[in-house]
Structure 1
Amino acid sequence: MPKSSIYLFYGLESYLIEQKIEQIIHQRLPFEEREMNLITYDLQVTPIEEVIQEAETLPFLSEHKVVIAKNAYFLTGQKANTKVEHEIESLERFLENPVDYSTLILTVFSEKLDERKKITKILKQAATVESFATLKGKELADWIHKIAQTEGIEISSDAAQFLIYTVGEELQILNQEIKKMALYVGKGGKIDQKVVKELTARTLEQNVFSLVEQVANLEIDQAIRMLYDLLKNKEEPIKIVALLAKQFRLMLFAKELSQKGYSNQQIGNHIGVHPYAVQLALQQGRGFSEQELKGIIKKLAEMDFEMKTGKKDKVLALELFLLSLTRMKSK
């Protein structure tokens, strides 16, 4: 078996690993031959010697077969949640004397391999080994632009960052959202921030962010209406208070660190949030002084205590809080 027919894929970006596997399957097996000649094993329940036995068995009415073995934790320093014992020598023998009618793909969801192990060293010599790290920052943004291009559309840099902020960094979800927006704008169209806002599903956290933004812009009627919509959707008032406190704390920390000369990226790394969230928090925080933000955070802590101890009606407390912000902003 040539080196190109033995693969080891590892890393924390499972979506990219699955995409790579699909690409290999597409190259090696016609669709009609996959039912009998595409075999997948979980190495947490199946020993490696059975996988090797399958790889050495001739394909059924085909010239080739693809054997996939997932969760190869014996190649890492991690302890697998399994009682299966693997006969590693069988894999070593296979790597020394492979067959030309099978493609063997090993995968493991791990950041790194155990380079001290003999089998890892042999695999690195005999197989095509690729790592798939989680995409972050510019790499993730570039990936989004690339996916948009394959869909025949464009996406602005602001829209890409806002999409990451809105739906998170999971590639499969990002891919689905881009495809949905591509249908909306049509071939040759462009996704901007407005399209992302209109089409992506908003989490409670993003709705609370919008609530704060409306207060900051003195759009009080809209803020009250959004609060009622959240309550109508059975969102727990105490959870809304917790997220409001989180957003105002972010505004305060971002403001303090920005004044000390920190960049959005540095602030994001320090606080543990996406740089785009820092940018938005800084924009919202312009309308509040540090003293006001500290007062709001204290008020939210008191309101949380009063809600949990039953001293105040939860909905009334939220309404009064928004009105107090309104008075503060109007001054």
Structure 2
Amino acid sequence: MGLITKIKRYYLFFGPEEYLKTKRIKSLISAVVEKGYEDFDCNYFEGRGLDATVLVNAASSPPSGSPLRVVVLRNLDKVTPRGLNLIERFIDSIPDYTTLIMTSEKIDRRKKIFKTLYKDEKACVRFNLPTPRKAVEFIAESAKQLNISIEPEAINYLVETIGPDVGRLDQELTKLALYVGPKATIRKDDVALLCGAGSIGTVFDLPQKIVSGDAKGSLVLLNSLLSAKQSEGRILFRIKDYFLKLNTVKALDMSAWVLRKKYGMLEKTAVNICQTAKRLSEICIINCLHHTYQCEISLKSAGLKKDIVLFDLISRLVLEVKEE
């Protein structure tokens, strides 16, 4: 019973990382609900359209065969004001035999419900999207637990391709393991073939092609990304973010180690940015940023084809770099 006494009467799990929220909820359920009693001692509710009275009644019912009843309410932020008021008044009355787990993507601490929940700050846990470096560590640890062999280069490329979404990364790792078969090692080529990166590259490769002065390669990759339904906004964001980091490194004479620590990025990426920042002049980097800001305005303008705007941007950026 030692563990049970440590379980709080309620939890608020919030933030954009849904996979880790779900994992934490499952962990709590497995800790306090007896096997075979999940259907009796667990209740699940959705915030949108919730009748809060039904939730309160469920949470007030003793468990059938487990130490605790677990009541899960997803998307607390979608509950009506009337429902939030009822839940807020119930918080201090949650029975000792129940734990109420609430999730929310965003919270507004000005609202009474969140002020009440934050009276116990340790019960309120934020789940942020991990940095690329943390995502790499997650994949490496998951592969180890599942006894999957994967090359470090393949892990890095998987994170670059999918992004730091641990839910999708976990799914893709499972798919890759099934694809290569037992006792085989997952390689970078497997990631490119199976996870949508393609042999040309990913959106993360585009800025590096631009600063290398590879006009043809940059435009071919851009066309591939657009054909794969990558959004113009995401492509522009990746380009602008790269040049903003170049500007920061240039202005502060930042080392790769400091850059990696500040942004949680992969070592290879940090080294590449620092080397590029040393090679390009401050004027060149500022001019490139100016082009990206102009492109941002153009993408929001009616009547302009977004793909043409991006093709024009890349041509201008490559030309700017080549004139160095």
Q: Establish whether TM, by shorter chain, passes 0.5.
A: yes
Letter in 2 for 1:289: S
Q: How does 1:110-129 map to 2 (within 5 A)?
A: none
Letter in 2 for 1:294: I
Partner residue, 2:101: 107
Partner residue, 2:30: 23
Partner residue, 2:288: 296
Give the percent of matched residue pairs that are identical in Structure 1 and Structure 2.
16
Q: Is the 8 A contact 1:255 1:285 kept in 2?
A: yes
1:40 counterpart SS class: strand
Change (3 A) 1:81 1:247: farther
Letter in 2 for 1:298: H
What TM-score results when the alignment is normalised by the length of structure 1? 0.63
Quick one: distance in 2 between partners of 1:130 and 1:245? 34
Q: How far apart are 1:68 and its partner, in Å?
A: 1.7
Q: Residue by residue, what CA displacement relative to the aligned partner does 1:115-167 show, whole Å, maximum 9, x if unpaired?
A: 996xx69xx9xxxx897865856765544322112222134555445544543
Q: Say whether residues 1:153 and 2:153 are aligned partners.
A: no
Q: Residue by residue, what CA displacement relative to the aligned partner does 1:303-331 show, whole Å, maximum 9, x if unpaired?
A: 55567668987655544554455555556
Quick one: distance in 1 between partners of 2:3 and 2:303? 69
Q: Say whether residues 1:180 and 2:175 are aligned partners.
A: yes
Gaps of 5+ in 1: 99-103
Quick one: distance in 1 between partners of 2:237 and 2:66? 57
What TM-score results when the alignment is normalised by the length of structure 2? 0.64
Gaps of 5+ in 2: 15-19, 108-113
Letter in 2 for 1:69: V
Q: Is the 8 A contact 1:257 1:267 kept in 2?
A: no
Q: Is the 8 A contact 1:145 1:154 kept in 2?
A: no
Change (3 A) 1:46 1:148: farther
Q: How does 1:1-331 map to 2 (within 5 A)?
A: 2-5=1-4, 7-8=7-8, 10=11, 11-12=13-14, 13-21=20-28, 23-24=30-31, 28-30=34-36, 34-35=38-39, 37-42=40-45, 45-46=52-53, 50-55=57-62, 59=64, 67-71=69-73, 82-85=84-87, 86-87=89-90, 91=94, 94-95=95-96, 104-109=98-103, 136=130, 141-157=136-152, 159-201=154-196, 207-232=202-227, 240-241=235-236, 243-259=238-254, 263-268=258-263, 274=265, 278-282=270-274, 285=277, 288-305=280-297, 318-327=310-319
Quick one: distance in 2 between partners of 1:130 and 1:241? 35
Change (3 A) 1:113 1:141: farther
1:70 counterpart SS class: strand
